[in-house]
Amino acid sequence: MIPFNKPYLTGKETDYIEQAVHSGKISGNGIFTQKCQNFFEKKYDIKKALLTTSCTDALEMCALLLDIKDGDEIIMPSYTFVSTANAFILRNAKIIFCDSKIDHPNIDEKKIEKLINHKTKAIVVVHYSGVACEMDSIMDIAKKHNLFVVEDAAQAIDSYYKGNSLGSIGHLATFSFHETKNIISGEGGLLAINDSRFVERAEIIWEKGTNRAAFWRGEVDKYNWIDVGSSFLPSEIVAAFLWAQLENLDKIQAKRKGIWNTYFDALKGNPLYTIPQIPNYATNNAHMFYLVCKSIKQRNDLIFELKEEGITAVSHYISLHESPFFKDKYEGEKLINCDNYSDCIIRLPMYFELNRQIQLNIIDRVLNFYS
């Protein structure tokens, strides 16, 4: 089978892991953690970056930092991964789902303001497939209503909005290094803090609620339990693996963009499906390539036919407001665009080592299906 995803190894991962093991400090916040965090702060203009064991953990840190309490309302897209909502559900927030745009799975910024009331605490945006949401409008809405903005940039490393890196615009942001992402560490994530009010407390929450990081820097003579927190920081082994990937970011991105462009050029212009369009305010980081089919039947038939040819293509999220966990709790209006993406998106194989001839075969199979 041609897989949907295949993790790419640069060749330096095990070398750096060995260095981490022999450094005498493998429990986290060592030399490789610092390298990775400095990389994000300098390259993407992030005020403070903290590695986490997953993007889910980074989102949970956001909920703690925003002091989310029972009854607070959080606006977010329904078409997203469950972690986006779970982080705030765990703090007893009420999730208010917003529809996607008609021409892109991202949250429809024009539908946000009508969902705001006196209980609203934050807007969480998800940069689907690494393509930016309309951040100027969203930040203006947040400023007008005194709300926080969290960017779920799990898929959006090395992508930009009007020249600003995704993850550097909202008050807080999160990234993922899961094995399905452009840059990986197996599991792994990062919290980006762009509002200085949160920097000191974020480090305490990150260190299990203690000021241990300040202790290791010699800023206090002993460390104590200061605040709530958890074991959010990853080991140096994870950070060492990630550093090998970040060193090769430009190479990885160039190859993925070439693959993405090959799909785009070959599959554009067919009225029987639509393909991703990149808004003029956004860049493309080539996280995924997808088609939006005309119906759920068409999508399922295409998945089946590709599977018969040895090609693994997959659907994506079931809208969270339609999930078994949330369906009985949902009280809002019908989210037509979210439901359409749930029914009709198919993602094609996308990974660094995707051979060009294999990719052309995938394209031929798709075109044959529609012919």
Question: What is the rounded distance in angstroms from the CA atom of residue 364 to the CA atom of residue 305?
Answer: 12
Determine the pLDDT at residue 339: 97
54-79: average pLDDT: 98
- pLDDT of 216 above 80: no
Amino acid at 253: Q
Q: For 297-357, give the DSSP string.
A: HHHHHHHHHHHHTTB--B--PPPGGGSTTTGGG--S---HHHHHHHHHEEEPP--TT--HH
Mean pLDDT, rounded, of the chain: 97
Residue 188's closest CA among 180, 176, 206? Answer: 176
- pLDDT of 105 above 80: yes
- pLDDT of 268 above 80: yes
Asked if residue 292 lies in contact with residue 345, where contact means CB atoms within 8 angstroms, the answer is yes
Whose tokens are 């429809």? That residue is 108
Q: What percent of the chain has pLDDT over 90?
A: 96
Task: Report the SS3 class of residue 101.
Answer: strand
Determine the pLDDT at residue 220: 86
Question: Phi, psi at residue 262, to the nearest 5°?
Answer: -65, -45
Determine the pLDDT at residue 87: 98
158-184: average pLDDT: 98
Determine the pLDDT at residue 218: 81
Q: Name the pLDDT band for 248 (thresholds 50, 70, 90).
A: very high
Which whole-number Å values give the CA distances from 14 to 41, 185, 229, 250, 351, in the listed order? 25, 12, 31, 20, 21
Q: Name the pLDDT band for 215 (thresholds 50, 70, 90).
A: confident
Neighbour order of strands in the sheet with 345-347: 273-274, 290-293, 345-347
Question: What is the rounded distance in angstroms from the CA atom of residue 317 to the CA atom of residue 340?
Answer: 11
Residue 340's closest CA among 35, 105, 10? Answer: 105
Q: Name the pLDDT band for 217 (thresholds 50, 70, 90).
A: confident
Q: Name the pLDDT band for 74 (thresholds 50, 70, 90).
A: very high
100-104: average pLDDT: 97
149-167: average pLDDT: 98
254-282: average pLDDT: 97
- pLDDT of 138 above 90: yes
50-62: average pLDDT: 98
37-62: average pLDDT: 98
Question: What is the rounded distance in angstroms from the CA atom of residue 208 to the CA atom of residue 359?
Answer: 46
Which helix (H) or strand (E) covers residue 360, if one does? helix 356-370
Asked if residue 311 lies in contact with residue 362, where contact means CB atoms within 8 angstroms, the answer is yes
Question: What is the rounded distance in angstroms from the CA atom of residue 27 to the CA atom of residue 225?
Answer: 19
Task: Report the SS3 class of residue 108.
Answer: coil
237-248: average pLDDT: 98
192-218: average pLDDT: 92
Question: What is the rounded distance in angstroms from the CA atom of residue 138 to the CA atom of residue 68?
Answer: 20
Q: Name the pLDDT band for 356 (thresholds 50, 70, 90).
A: very high
Residues forming beta bridges with residue 52, ordered by sequence position? 189
Determine the pLDDT at residue 221: 84
Determine the pLDDT at residue 115: 98
Instruction: Look at the alpha carbons of 347, 351, 357, 358 in this order and tell me if their dihedral is positive or negative.
Output: negative
Question: What is the rounded distance in angstroms from the CA atom of residue 32 to the CA atom of residue 245?
Answer: 12
Distance of CA 223 to the CA centre of its chain: 33
316: its two tokens = 């994506």
CA angle 287, 124, 187 (to 5 degrees): 45
Determine the pLDDT at residue 79: 98
Digit-coded pLDDT (tens) for 309-353: 999 999 999 999 999 999 999 999 999 999 999 999 999 999 999
- Residue 198: CB atoms within 10 Å: 22
Which domains can be identified in the chain, with CATH numbers?
A: 13-246 (3.40.640.10), 249-370 (3.90.1150.10)
Q: Among 22-31, 97-106, 142-151, where is mean pLDDT lowest?
A: 22-31
Q: Name the pLDDT band for 214 (thresholds 50, 70, 90).
A: confident
- pLDDT of 6 above 80: yes
- pLDDT of 219 above 80: yes
